[in-house]
Structure 1
Amino acid sequence: MNFLAHAYLSFNDPKVLVGNFIGDFVRGNLEEQFAAEIVTGILLHREIDAFTDSHPLVKKTQELLKPNFGRYSLVITDMFFDHFLSRNWNDYDERSIQEFTRWVYEVIEANEAILPQKFLAPFTYMKRENWLAAYGTMEGIQRSFTGLSYRTTFPSNMERAPAFLRAHYAFFEGSFKQFFEELIVFSKDKLNQLRQEDDSL
């Protein structure tokens, strides 16, 4: 999943949020680098990604994308799903998307001293352009995909992904809504499991 989903699936725990946000940017012995709850967030991030990558609904969306976008289909799926989470935000949270994203940025900034260096640059752009909320608009997701297309190692066609989304909008939205309900249940259970394992150490 992409940043907005990982933020939401931290279930309002600031330390878990930090870990969930930086999960793709850290390596090595996590316990030597971070507090226990941040490690929990990092591990939760990885569990969410593994569940997402192996889920039949996600694989089905990738099958539709692969003829046009090849190896970048999973990245595109993640961003499409963040689009629908942002667009349908009121179905999942009582706060507005703007209130939630302000809280996220404040939490991340308050923990700047422990953030990986390679995370700081994208986070600066994320906050400045409010990626988390902007994913919910076609204009915002177009900017994101166009920017990513300039940074991919191989030709990606990612700048064309929003047009593909428009053409298959009902299919992707239906897939997201069904999958995300399952992901919420999985993430809550996994977070509780990780906390129990940490308490037993």
Structure 2
Amino acid sequence: MNYFAHLHIASLTHTSWVGNLLGDFSVEVESLDADLWIGWQLHQKVDVMVDNHEASVSFRSMPRKGRRRFAGIVQDIVMDYWLIQYWDRFSSVPLDAFCDQALFGLVQDKERSPERLQNMIRSLENENWLANLGTIDGVEKAIYSIMRRWRHGEYLADFVEDLELVIKQAEAPFLRLYPDLLKFVDEEMKKSRGHTQPRLMGLATL
């Protein structure tokens, strides 16, 4: 999952907005404040669960131009696309309101963020583009952003050429994966907090 899904999980678990994004940024884990560390750890668990889920394995094996070994990178982005398409199924908070809440939470901890995340938060302050991740243009921009930063970024070009197919291929895997992911996160939060009652708040009926 990419930024949007991790922010959604942060909102449901009442953990740090910034902390839940830190898994995608270089940080010194030992120096993190406790609340940021909890979010960082949750991000790691989510990534492992998603990578190993049968729906992810299925998505990575689908025929397309892009090489299978890099499909997981693109999967994270197109799963965000489908989360936004199906937002009303997974949240009772209107999409625009959620995007504003996420931005507010990120800004609160901007100064405790690594430089690259600070830059991302500043770009959100200038124009909150989170909802745009649910558009083809937004998906394309997200992939190009990775291509610019990553030394092997050229390997993602084939996915851009085949983008409409790639997005379509991700719909069914997303619908299998995301409810399981939210159940997984709920169980992890119960274990970490010692509660027996569900901790996910504001989740619409699946």
Relative distance call for 1:121 and 1:63 in structure 2 (3 A) is: same
How do 1:168-187 residues align onto structure 2 when only pairs under 5 Å count?
Answer: 169-187=167-185
Partner of 1:23 in structure 2?
23
Tell me how far 1:9 sits from its aligned partner.
1.2
CA contact (8 A) 2:5 2:80 kept: yes
Q: Give 1:191 deviation, angstroms.
A: 1.8
Q: Which residue of 1 aligns with 2:67?
A: 69
Q: CA deviation at 1:14?
A: 5.0
User: What is the percent sequence identity of the aligned residues?
Assistant: 21
2-structure distance, mates of 1:191, 1:136: 28
Long gaps (5+) in structure 2: 196-206
User: C-alpha displacement at 1:102, in angstroms?
Assistant: 0.8
From 55, 58, 72, the equivalent of 1:60 is 58
The answer to whether residue 145 in structure 2 is matched with residue 147 in structure 1 is yes
**CA–CA distance in 1 between the matches of 2:63 and 2:99?**
29
Q: Which has a greater percent of helix? A: 1
2:2 aligned with 1:5, yes or no? no
Structure with higher RCO (Cα < 8 A, 6+ apart) = 2
Q: Show the 5 A alignment for 1:154-165.
A: 154-165=152-163
Q: 1:120 aligns with which of 118, 121, 124?
A: 118
**Whole-Å separation in 2 of the counterparts to 1:129 and 1:188:** 32
Structure 1, unaligned runs of 5 or more: none
- SS of the aligned residue for 2:49 comes to helix
Q: Using the TM superposition, give the Cα deviation of residue 104 of structure 1 relative to its aligned residue in structure 2, in angstroms.
A: 0.5
Shift, 1:65, TM fit: 6.2
What amino acid is the match of 1:103? Answer: Q
Q: Which residue of 2 aligns with 1:82?
A: 80
Deviations 1:5-29 (A, max 9, x none): 1111124455432311223332331
* Aligned-CA RMSD value: 2.4
Q: Quote the residue 1:38 is aligned against.
A: 36
Structure 1 residues 40, 61: closer, same or farther in 2, change over 3 A?
same
Closer, same or farther in 2 for the Cα pair 1:106/1:172, shift >3 Å? same
Shifted more, 13-22 versus 90-99: the winner is 13-22
Q: For 2:10, give the aligned amino acid.
A: S
The residue type paired with residue 145 of structure 2 is G
Matched residue SS, 2:23: helix
Q: Name the CA distance, whole Å, in 1 between partners of 2:129 and 2:63.
A: 23
What TM-score do the two structures reach when normalised by structure 1?
0.83
Q: What amino acid is aligned across from residue 32 of structure 2 in structure 1?
A: Q
Instruction: Please report the TM-score for the alignment, with normalisation by the length of structure 2.
Output: 0.82
Question: Do 1:72 and 1:156's aligned partners in 2 also have CA atoms closer than 8 Å?
Answer: no
Aligned counterparts of 2:148 and 2:101: Cα–Cα separation in 1: 30
Tell me by how many angstroms 1:66 deviates.
Answer: 7.4
Q: Could you tell me how far 1:60 is from its partner in structure 2?
A: 1.5
Q: Number of paired residues?
A: 194
Structure 1 residue 97 displacement after superposition: 1.5
Counterparts of 1:138 and 1:34 in 2: how far apart (Å)? Answer: 36
Q: How far does residue 111 in structure 1 lie from its aligned partner after superposition?
A: 1.4
The question of whether the paired residues in 2 share the 8 Å contact of 1:18 and 1:111 is answered with yes
